[in-house]
Amino acid sequence: MPIWWNNLLGKRPATMDRIERPIFIVGCGRSGTTLLFQLLRRHPEVRPTTGYPDGEDHIGWNEHGDCVISGLGHSDREGGHTGYSYCLHMNEDDVNADITKRMHRYYAHEVLGEKRGVRVLNKCPHLSNKLRYVRAIFPDACFVHIIRDCAPVVRSWEKIMEVQPGLVLYWPDTEYPCFWVMPAPAGRPKKQLFRMEQRMFPGNGVDILAEYWTETNRNIPRQLQDKPGSLLTIKYEDLCARPMEVLGSIATFCGLGAFEFSPKDDYGRMVVDRRTSEAERKIQTIRVDTLDRVERVRHLFGYA
């Protein structure tokens, strides 16, 4: 059947449901993934994903990609919890032809719609331990890894968990971990039990948050080491100091046309004003072994 006949019937041939070179923003939560997403989404050659929270598209990944994501949202909606209670590592072994077809079709129809010829832009920190799974679905994907120094990320997590009293974080002892976000049991005695657990926050305090920063950032390039040309790493600090330069380098890496980005986020705030305070440059006392791992990764990314 000719293509024009499919179009007349309101049908699209299967080849039109293939998504080319989608762009994925990954990194630790609280590292600037949302800020970068807000800035890049203005490029006329991309179409951003939607979904709670902040365009992360958890529902799309869970329903169409059979993904296992646990996410933290905003405390004023659904208790701040998204997806499952657990967030599992996934790779190419977890992908089959049906999942690939469904994700491509979902992005083609629900994200791009009639605006073909543009690129899908998705940011989701909870895909950071699933990059080979994402790449198996979208082999030509571009990954942009944004990293922010450890201390302000840890402090930001402390702040967000202060307004999420109904949730606790579990840090699994696996090769490619990610936080599991769980509802905290009601009642002080039960919550006190969770505070004693060494693989949970708030139980093990900032050590758990520092380990999350260390392992997540260390593991992102490890997952794509066989195809390093698919990954670009940028620093949050550089984005704030030189936003036009950094955004231009990202556009070049992703193969997007030249575009004059705005240095303001969706709320009209200047990116360059997002400086890290002295109080956020230091982490409270953590174990020596944790600090040693943090410093090795800081050195790897040019922070030391």
- In terms of Cβ atoms closer than 10 Å to its own Cβ (0-12, 13-18, 19+), residue 154 is buried
Asked whether residue 151 is assigned to any structural domain, the reply reads yes
Q: Mean pLDDT over residues 199-228, rounded? A: 95
Residue 73, φ and ψ in degrees, nearest 5: -110, -140
For residue 278, the model assigns a pLDDT of: 67
Q: Mean pLDDT over residues 96-113, rounded? A: 96
Asked whether residue 287 is assigned to any structural domain, the reply reads yes
Checking if the pLDDT of 90 tops 60, the result is yes
Structure tokens at 178: 């990610």
Strand 167-170 and strand 180-183: the pairing is antiparallel
For residue 4, the model assigns a pLDDT of: 43
Dist. CA 71–CA 83, nearest whole Å: 6
Of the two residues 79 and 53, the one the predictor is more confident about is 53
Count of domains observed in the chain: 1
For residue 47, the model assigns a pLDDT of: 97
For residue 279, the model assigns a pLDDT of: 63
Contact 195, 202 (CB under 8 A): yes
Percent of the chain with pLDDT over 70: 93
Question: Domain with 25 in it: what CATH number?
Answer: 3.40.50.300
For residue 116, the model assigns a pLDDT of: 82
The pLDDT tens digits of the residues spanning 113-154 come to 988 889 999 999 999 999 999 999 999 999 999 999 999 999
Asked whether residue 8 is assigned to any structural domain, the reply reads no
Asked whether residue 107 is assigned to any structural domain, the reply reads yes
Q: Mean pLDDT over residues 90-109, rounded? A: 97
Asked whether residue 128 is assigned to any structural domain, the reply reads yes
9-13, 113-117, 249-253: segment of lowest average pLDDT: 9-13
pTM confidence score: 0.91
Asked whether residue 4 is assigned to any structural domain, the reply reads no
If we measure between CA atoms, which residue out of 168, 192, 196 comes closest to residue 182?
Answer: 168
Asked whether residue 226 is assigned to any structural domain, the reply reads yes
Radius of gyration of the chain (CA): 20
H helices of the chain, in order, are: 3-8, 33-40, 58-65, 97-106, 131-137, 150-162, 188-194, 206-223, 236-241, 243-254, 288-300
Asked whether residue 1 is assigned to any structural domain, the reply reads no
Residues found in the chain: 304
Write out the residue range of the structural domain in which residue 137 sits: 13-300
Residue 1: pLDDT band (50, 70, 90) is very low
For residue 2, the model assigns a pLDDT of: 46
Checking if the pLDDT of 175 tops 90, the result is yes
Q: Which residues contact 275 (CB under 8 A, 6 or more apart)?
A: 240
